Every structure is written in structure tokens, then in C-alpha cells.
Amino acid sequence: MTNHFKHHVFFCLNQRENGEDCCMNKGAEAAFDHMKLRVKKLGLNGEGKVRINRAGCLDRCAQGPLMVVYPEAVWYTFVDHEDVDEIIESHLINGKVVKRLVIE
């Protein structure tokens, strides 16, 4: 059996209405948009390649913003677009986990 995508990336884009900590308040939407555009620009998107998806709450709000990359189930946090670019280059292109951004 083969995977439809080599990598499937889910961004937590949950917005809590009660003002509690959430990924949306920490720049997750901008990072999602950046990664989606960058992956497309690099020709990495599509069947057999990479899919970038929105996700609701991934229930790790205090560690956010965050994304999870499957099939490896690697959870990342990030601060800026440079971190997202590093995840694209290292993990999605070269298959190497960016250890400094991993959350357990």
C-alpha cells in the first residue's frame, strides 16, 4: 500500500473564543499561508508529494503554534517564516527532522 501523499502537514488553526491561548493568536494562519505558497512555488504539492492542510484544535495549545507532519508524526513549533522554510527544506525535501523545532 502506498500513501497518497509523501508528506501530509496539518496546521493547528484553532481560534478560541474565550481568549485562551491558541495557535491562531500566535501567527499560525500566516505560517500556514506561507508554507502553502512556498510548497506550491517549489513544485512540491500534489499527489505523491506534499499536502498542506488546515486542522482544528490539536489539543496542544500551550506549545503552539504548531504543525504535525505525517506519515512520520513529527510535531513542530515555529516562530517565523524562516522556521517554516527550514522545515520545508530539511524535512519535506531532504527527509531530515528539524530537531530544534520538534515538540514531544
Residue-wise pLDDT tens digits, 81-103:
999 999 999 999 999 999 999 99
Q: Between these two residues, 3 and 100, which has the higher pLDDT value?
A: 100
Residue-wise pLDDT tens digits, 71-82:
999 999 999 999
pLDDT at 1 over 70: no
Q: At CA 50, angle to CA 48 and CA 54, rounded to 5?
A: 130
Length of the chain, in residues: 104
**Residue 89 cell numbers, joined:** 527544506
d(CA 53, CA 36): 8
